[in-house]
């Protein structure tokens, strides 16, 4: 009889989360799905072989602490732990509401750090496991209109890489996945609310593309996984030389704006009966 495998996916209600959950399900994992949208993850759980839905609002610090305590104390053990939750308000800094800033900080960075700590403390006694976090190309290149989002993702990238170096000698892998524009409800929101045109400057990625990247992370244990090889090259090049951004930005924004309009037209077509 094969050994039971278990995984937890935090941020599993829409877009990338369900794709990751379905792939883990196909690989035989028993799943714990965590999200504040309980109905959505209950519906997803019913479609999977062995899955449990757990409601948690990552902005509620007491609820987050309870979730972290449950993860740390789980007696059966998780083999894979995924942090996938994220939020963005695409606005210039002066136009951003303080509450929106706080929400991005709470969901994208603070809760992620606390959960990664809980995953670490859960796996260390067992000397095995894999922690995988959806970061973003926003953690590589900082663009106007997403300053707070970029700050959270730059911080999360630093935390993930540091944690990878701390845990690599203990039999625990830590990986970050770096998508660019992915066809999800979040990107649809950005397209309709003046998000960065750079999201649309190259071919959009699908949730299946991110699922493939997730499986590469799971198979290799590499610290950074980029769904697009070109994003990996160009993103890290520009990210290493921030002074390049103002020089290439006008051209890339024009290209991206044309991409945004094509995407909005596609969304309009999808909404038609």
Q: What is the mean pLDDT of residues 165-185?
A: 91
What pTM was computed for the model?
Answer: 0.88
pLDDT for res 231: 77
Q: What is the mean pLDDT of residues 28-55?
A: 96
Q: Which of 191, 183, 231, 227 is nearest to 209 (CA)?
A: 227
- How far apart (Å, rounded) are the C-alpha atoms in residues 129 and 223? 14
pLDDT bracket for residue 39 (50, 70, 90):
very high
Share of the chain above pLDDT 70, in %: 99
In 77-206, alpha helices (H): 98-104, 111-123, 147-167, 185-192
- Give the pLDDT confidence of 96-119 residue by residue, as tens digits: 999 999 999 999 999 999 999 999
Here the tokens at position 120 are: 């670490």
Q: What is the mean pLDDT of residues 111-135?
A: 97
* Mean pLDDT estimate for the chain: 90
pLDDT for res 82: 98
DSSP-derived letter for residue 49 is S
Q: Exposed/middle/buried for 83, CB within 10 Å: 0-12, 13-18, 19+?
A: buried
Q: How far is CA 232 from CA 119, 227, 270, in A?
A: 27, 8, 30
Find the range with the poorest average confidence among 164-178, 180-194, 254-268. 180-194
Task: Give me the phi and psi of 15, to 5 degrees please.
Answer: 75, -120
- Give the pLDDT confidence of 13-28 residue by residue, as tens digits: 978 999 999 999 999 9
**Is the confidence at residue 138, as pLDDT, over 60?**
yes
Q: How far is CA 182 from CA 55, 57, 223, 230, in A?
A: 25, 24, 21, 15
pLDDT for res 1: 36
């Amino acid at each position: 009889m094969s050994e039971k495998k278990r995984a937890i996916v935090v941020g599993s209600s829409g877009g990338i989360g369900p794709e990751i959950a379905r792939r883990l399900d196909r690989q035989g994992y028993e799943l714990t799905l965590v999200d504040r949208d309980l109905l959505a993850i209950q519906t997803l759980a019913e479609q999977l072989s062995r899955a449990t839905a757990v409601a948690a609002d990552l902005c509620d610090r007491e609820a987050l602490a309870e979730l972290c305590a449950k993860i740390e104390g789980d007696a059966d053990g998780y083999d894979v732990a995924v942090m996938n939750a994220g939020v963005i308000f695409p606005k210039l800094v002066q136009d951003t509401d303080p509450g929106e800033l706080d929400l991005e900080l709470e969901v994208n960075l603070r809760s992620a750090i606390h959960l990664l700590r809980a995953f670490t403390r859960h796996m260390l006694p067992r000397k095995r496991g894999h922690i995988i976090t959806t970061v973003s190309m926003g953690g590589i290149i900082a663009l106007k209109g997403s300053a707070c989002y970029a700050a959270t993702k730059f911080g999360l990238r630093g935390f993930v890489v540091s944690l990878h170096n701390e845990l690599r000698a203990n039999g625990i892998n830590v990986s970050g996945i770096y998508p660019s524009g992915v066809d999800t409800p979040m990107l649809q929101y950005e397209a309709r609310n003046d998000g960065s045109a750079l999201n649309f400057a190259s071919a959009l990625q699908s949730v299946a593309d991110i699922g493939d990247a997730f499986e590469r992370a799971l198979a290799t244990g590499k610290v950074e996984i980029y769904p697009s090889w070109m994003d990996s090259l160009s993103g890290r090049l520009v990210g290493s030389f921030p002074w390049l951004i103002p020089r290439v930005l006008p051209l890339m924004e024009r290209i991206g704006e044309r991409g945004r309009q094509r995407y909005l037209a596609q969304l309009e077509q999808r909404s038609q009966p």
